[in-house]
Chains A and B, each alone.
Chain A
Amino acid sequence: MATRTQLSDATALDLPEAPRWRTLRLLLSKKIAVVCILVLVVFYGAAILAPWVAPADPNEQEFTVEAARAGPSAEHWFGTDQLGRDLLSRVIYAARTTVLFTVAVVITGGLFLGLGLGLLAGYRGGWVDNAIMRLGEILSGVPVFFLMLIIRAAYRERTNDLAFWLKENTFLGADAPPLVAFVIITGVAVPFVWVGLARIVRSQVLAIREQEFVLAAEAMGISTPRLLIRHILPGVMPIYLVGLSASMAGFAFVELGLSWLGLGVDPSTPSFGSMINAAGGVRTFEAFPHLLLVSSIPIIVFFFAWNLLGDALVDIVEPRTYRR
């Protein structure tokens, strides 16, 4: 109850504020949240600008005893890995893999399916609602990682064939194998990530749909898409963003875990998962601690920032209505 009162206190003197701006303003008033956002901006910025930011080619190898697994130096700030590749560049490109994967999953599974199906189920109700939610229940019970492993492991020959065919026969060339691997792990993740978000959205839509302004808008003959976008979506958005930010670390972990197992992105694509795996033996860590440290700390910071941001958002967006 207190949070509710605080919220209305904060806006009591002004004209009623749109919920999304209120969320943003309250978020920016939290120091931790601002720090998290800054950290994430740096991470995403470095990832998007990878070709310009990275000091070297992440796949350029140097086969000399001194160059392999060298510690941090002026030339290689993060040192080099077992093939003499510049680790700073590999970290930046690995960040790009993480960012591309999470963005692809958020747009398809989170935005398109999660928000879209949640709105549809909540607003339409009836058999549409039933069908969507039943499907969600089934999918949420399927051991996701298990099914991903089946698809990635058992189908690896076929996907390799496809990748090589594309490499030989299309303009994609050498980009084809990474692209195919990437599309597949994204495609495998998407059917499962929307369920939780759709549930959150649906329950919020159910609450909003009963309110008078929706009835008024309907009475004025508003079209359904317009009603959803102008009147219902703004009320759903804050809680949706909470759910989304809470799920981000989980999305990124799918790629991390699969790549750690060697079943994720193409080996030529730098990924935190494969880098951690290459650096992550106990003996390797003792002899060359920088290998594991530089390849794990960025992704830990990324996870931590999203976790904290999600937590800060939960505090702001009415904790009473938020259920996971």
Chain B
Amino acid sequence: MSQGLAGYIIRRLLWAIPVIFAVSIILFVVLRLAPIDPIDSLLGVRYDEEIAERLRQKYGYDEPLHVQYLRYFENLFQGDLGVSTRRLDFSVEEVVIPKVRVSAPIGAMALVLAYVLGIPIGIYAAAQRGTYRDPLTIGSWLFVDAIPIFVIAVWAMWFLALKVSLIDLSYEGVFHENIILPVLLMSFPGVAGVARFMRASMVQVIYEDYVRTARAKGLRERTVVISHIARNAFLPMITSIGLSLPAIFTGSLFIELVFGIPGIAREMLEAIFVPDYDVVIGFGLFTFSLFVLANILIDITYGFIDPRVRVEAERGV
């Protein structure tokens, strides 16, 4: 079994290579064909043909597209992601990592909060099935989910900061009390999804024989719901959690813009406008690789947690 699993993981990783390769070509071509010239944006009003020519030579932008791509890929294999033109030749890592350090803790907190709120809400709704409380709970979270994040943020900021002066809005770093509101708002859209998913998977196991047996043994309803139903219902959640892991590192563009958080999503938006070729491609490949890894991780976790799950070698990435 473990032999098969190892082989399976290796096959998955091998399949990931051509896919990442394909994605890198797409990103590369889409960016290079864009009509904006990074050297043009870099020099701005100081634009001078001679300096521009020299800079193009320096970054290799004067060469044909396929030569540029081959060089990029060659460097990539040696672990060199390139340099940022917008950020004065800092390497891509030097630009991206500090920004991810800001976005990732916020994203992680929001993700944990979404599950910490969503799972009990889903369990509660499923346990209250057939009463008005079930649709009311799910419905009210669906309503929260329906409010665009840049609307609810304005309302919350207006009420909490201007009306009751409870909070301050300035960004003071990731581990500061001012981060509570952005994290809370960022987790809200996820809560409805998690709650609904948890409820649906609870409902699927509620009528299983072992649940009836547990009740017949005279276990308390609480024990039945939590240890027998919720525990098994939790299995499908692994996929959902796994798939949302990469989002931690990409940050939330709207939250970062509204709250003035200097995170990775804003950095990328600005990099795209220039466009800062290597930074954009590097970050794009980074997020895509995270997605691939998350998928493999999900399958491995399933194999460990639920021995019934046989690894399907044909499923690919």
Contact = CB atoms under 8 A, between A and B. Distances in A.
Interface residues of B, number: 54
- The secondary structure that dominates the B interface is helix
Contacts of B27: 147, 150
A282 B154 contact: yes
Interface stretch (A40-48, A103-111, A295-303): A295-303
Interface residues of A, number: 51
Contacts of B26: 142
Interface in A280-324: 280-282, 285-286, 292, 296, 299-301, 303-304, 307-308, 311, 314, 319-320, 322-324
A155 B33 CA distance: 9
Interface string B255-291: 0010000000000110011010000100010011001
A253 B254 CA distance: 12
Contact of A314 (B200, B284, B287, B288): B200
A292 B272 contact: no
A13 interface: no
A248 to B, nearest CB: 11
A304 B275 contact: no
Interface string B285-317: 001100110010000000000000000000011
B146 A143 contact: no
A154 B275 contact: yes
B236 A147 contact: no
Contact of A319 (B204, B257, B284, B316): B204
Nearest to B240: A324
Interface in A70-123: none
A50 interface: no
B132 to A, nearest CB: 11
A59 to B, nearest CB: 23
B196 interface: yes
A260 B255 CA distance: 13
A271 to B, nearest CB: 12
A308 B273 contact: no
Contacts of B291: 141
Interface string A144-179: 011101110111011000000000000000000000
B196 A311 contact: yes
Contacts of A146: 250, 268, 284, 287
Contact of B272 (A134, A150, A256, A311): A150
A157 B36 CA distance: 8
A127 to B, nearest CB: 12
B242 interface: no
B142 A304 contact: yes
Contacts of A149: 268-269, 272
A138 B22 contact: yes
Contacts of B253: 145, 261
Contacts of A308: 139, 142
A1 B203 CA distance: 9
B287 A143 contact: yes
A134 B292 contact: no
A249 interface: yes
B207 interface: yes
B207 A1 contact: yes
Contact of B151 (A276, A286, A322, A323): A276
Contacts of B203: 319
10 contacts: A142-B288, A143-B284, A146-B268, A157-B36, A276-B150, A277-B150, A282-B161, A285-B158, A311-B142, A320-B204
Interface of A: 1-2, 32, 130, 133-134, 137-138, 141-143, 145-147, 149-151, 153-155, 157-158, 249, 253, 256-257, 260-261, 276-277, 280-282, 285-286, 292, 296, 299-301, 303-304, 307-308, 311, 314, 319-320, 322-324
